[in-house]
Amino acid sequence: MTSSEHHLSAGQRRWDYSVQRYKPYDVFCEKDLLSILFLAHGRPEITTRCLLSTLDAVSRYPGQVEWIFIENGDCDENFAIFQELPVDRKVIVRQKNYGINNGLNQAWALSRGEWCFIHENDWECRSPVDFLTIVKDILTERSEVGIVQLRAVNDPRENWGYGKPEYSPWSCGADVLERGGVKLWRERTKGGHEFFISDFPNGFNNNPIVMRKPLYRECGSYPEPEVGTDPRHGETEYQGRVAKTDCVTAHIGLEVYYHCGQTTSRAN
């Protein structure tokens, strides 16, 4: 993977057997490499739509990217989609469904980037800009930021956290934030992009986020419910772990990803 031709300069040989030298860094936390952890479970028409939207965005990003595809439903169509993608660096895992957190833990274990992008197959990118460079700027310039959220604040399919400062401070006014005891402030990258930072307790979620690998390592692998038990609470458990760290959460300040896997609702 990290020995691909992409890293060679013009005229440089790929292998020189007269030289013995090893990479002087953690090969599973490669500096400036973004790992996209793409988790799918059937629904190949949605997989195709959402994956192509992200591929279009990645085509505008000049940095290093690898793809880790997990087909968590043993779907022939999704597996074929992943195999046919003409990307330089990819790993594909095909298996039965043992839960979201099981699949994501496998993707984390295979990834080599210092930043990991959590991307389930029912999230569609609608950003016309190179948002990944903005994410990279936020993470390299602000060491206290552990997670950058990418979900559109005004996604009409947000039916849980909207208007709640403990889940979506970006959607709340100053009075609501004050009553909830949540701080939110604006920042700018050196390139001039405005984004948001908050210290709210539930900054982690399985919506599209980019997360530092050292933070994942600090918090440990996602809790995996036993087969046959309630699979829903692993995310809540992990939010508690992240909240105990010193990191804060940023929102990119753009309407990037929208959920296309459920009906429109404002249940809260």
pLDDT, one tens digit for every residue, the chain (268 residues): 444 555 666 777 777 888 888 989 999 999 999 999 999 998 999 999 999 999 999 999 999 999 999 999 889 999 999 999 999 899 999 998 888 899 999 999 999 999 999 999 999 999 989 999 999 999 999 999 999 999 999 999 876 789 999 999 999 999 999 999 999 999 999 999 999 999 998 899 889 999 999 999 999 999 998 878 887 778 888 999 999 999 999 999 999 999 986 654 443 3
Task: Report angle CA 55, 70, 96 to the nearest 5 degrees.
Answer: 145
Cβ(146)–Cβ(245) below 8 Å: yes
**33 three-state secondary structure:** strand
Distance CA 89, CA 85 (A): 10
- For residue 177, with 0-12 CB atoms within 10 Å meaning exposed, 13-18 middle and 19 or more buried, which class applies? middle
212 near 114, Cβ under 8 Å?
A: yes
d(CA 91, CA 1): 9
Q: Which pLDDT does position 99 carry in this prediction?
A: 85
Give dist(CA 116, CA 111) in Å, integer: 8
